[in-house]
Amino acid sequence: MLAKLRRAYSTPPQLPSDPLEALQTLLDTEFPDTSSTKFLTDHTLRRYLTARKNDPVKAFRQLKQTIVWQDSYKPSLLYSEHKQSIHHEAQSGKMYVLPQVDKNGRSVIIMRPGLENSSDGAGNVRYLVYTLERAARLSERHGDGKFIVVVDYFTGKISPSTSPSLSTMRETTNILQTHYPERLGGMLLFEAPSFFFGLFKLIKPFIDPVTSGKLRFLKRGQDVDAPFLDWDAIPEDYGGRLRYEFDQVSYFDQEK
């Protein structure tokens, strides 16, 4: 199956002029058995088309990478197959999805790198993907499928030794851009340490300019020019009006 998915697409069929129909034609030709591609809704196809500026061939190539990745990584099964690892990664409250969405139906992810409790790079990435999947499901139920990310660098202890490796950061960037295109509604990064900007310069060439334009680097208490935000859905620690405290037991009760 995996070998088939990785096969290069060399002779495209005659494509309709409509980009969505053209992308669907490419997918139907390459993957006639749609049982393995149930996630390929019209909404998903439009996200990939938007990310590739309505070029159906480029969107198809990116989607094909995601299909291969999903077939091997199985993001929808991460919790059931890696429950112990995910619970361990979540224990410190370093990353979680808020239980409610904002007024636009977008979920909110809180990341607190200073509470890092694991040096397992694979476990870190696995928990990130679990979190992205959880946020995407919540947003799909209530809105446009996008989420807001708040990165808190002032809680806990931040140092180069506890930060993700460059390879982990690049893998994370690749997963976000390749497999979750047009998911990011906006990102706030509070009190990013000086060494972070050195790492950011190294990975910035791998970040799409559209994605880069959704980032805001802030100091605590700083006014934010971010029209994509609903402050009623942002915790008080980050200038919002929401009162919320992470509790691991109740957080995973939702998985039952």
Phi-psi region of 244 (alpha: psi -120 to 50; beta: other; left: phi over 0): beta
Q: Give me the pLDDT at residue 148, please.
A: 93
106 plus 226 within the same structural domain:
yes
Q: Give me the pLDDT at residue 124, please.
A: 92
99 plus 224 within the same structural domain:
yes
Which residue matches tokens 């790492």?
Answer: 199
Q: Residues 91-102: what's their mean pLDDT? A: 96
Q: Give me the pLDDT at residue 12, please.
A: 56
Band (142; pLDDT cuts 50, 70, 90):
very high
Higher-scoring residue by pLDDT: 201, 156: 156
What rounded mean pLDDT belongs to the chain? Answer: 86
**CA–CA separation, 57 and 30 (whole Å):** 12
The range of the structural domain enclosing residue 33 comes to: 2-73
Q: Give me the pLDDT at residue 199, please.
A: 66
Q: Residues 186-195: what's their mean pLDDT? A: 85
Band (39; pLDDT cuts 50, 70, 90):
confident
Q: Give me the pLDDT at residue 172, please.
A: 84
223 plus 108 within the same structural domain:
yes
Higher-scoring residue by pLDDT: 37, 10: 37
**Over the stretch 48-78, which tens digit does the pLDDT of each residue have?**
999 999 999 999 999 999 999 999 999 999 9
Residue after which a domain boundary falls, among 21, 40, 73 = 73
Band (6; pLDDT cuts 50, 70, 90):
very low
Report CA torsion sign: 225, 229, 232, 233.
negative
**Over the stretch 144-175, which tens digit does the pLDDT of each residue have?**
899 999 999 999 887 766 666 677 778 888 89
**Over the stretch 112-135, which tens digit does the pLDDT of each residue have?**
989 999 988 899 999 999 999 999
69 plus 90 within the same structural domain:
no
Based on the number of CB atoms within 10 Å of its own CB, is 80 exposed (0-12), middle (13-18) or buried (19 or more)? Answer: exposed
Q: Residues 18-31: what's their mean pLDDT? A: 92
C-beta separation of 39 from 69 below 8 A: no
Band (8; pLDDT cuts 50, 70, 90):
very low
Query: Does the pLDDT value for residue 34 go beyond 80?
Result: no
12 plus 137 within the same structural domain:
no
The number of domains in the chain is 2
Higher-scoring residue by pLDDT: 160, 178: 178
Which residue matches tokens 């029209």?
Answer: 227
Q: Give me the pLDDT at residue 139, please.
A: 95
**CA–CA separation, 111 and 63 (whole Å):** 27
Query: Does the pLDDT value for residue 179 go beyond 70?
Result: yes
114 plus 215 within the same structural domain:
yes
Does the residue 111 lie in any domain?
yes
Based on the number of CB atoms within 10 Å of its own CB, is 255 exposed (0-12), middle (13-18) or buried (19 or more)? Answer: exposed
CB neighbourhood size of 62 (10 A): 18
Band (202; pLDDT cuts 50, 70, 90):
low
Does the residue 21 lie in any domain?
yes
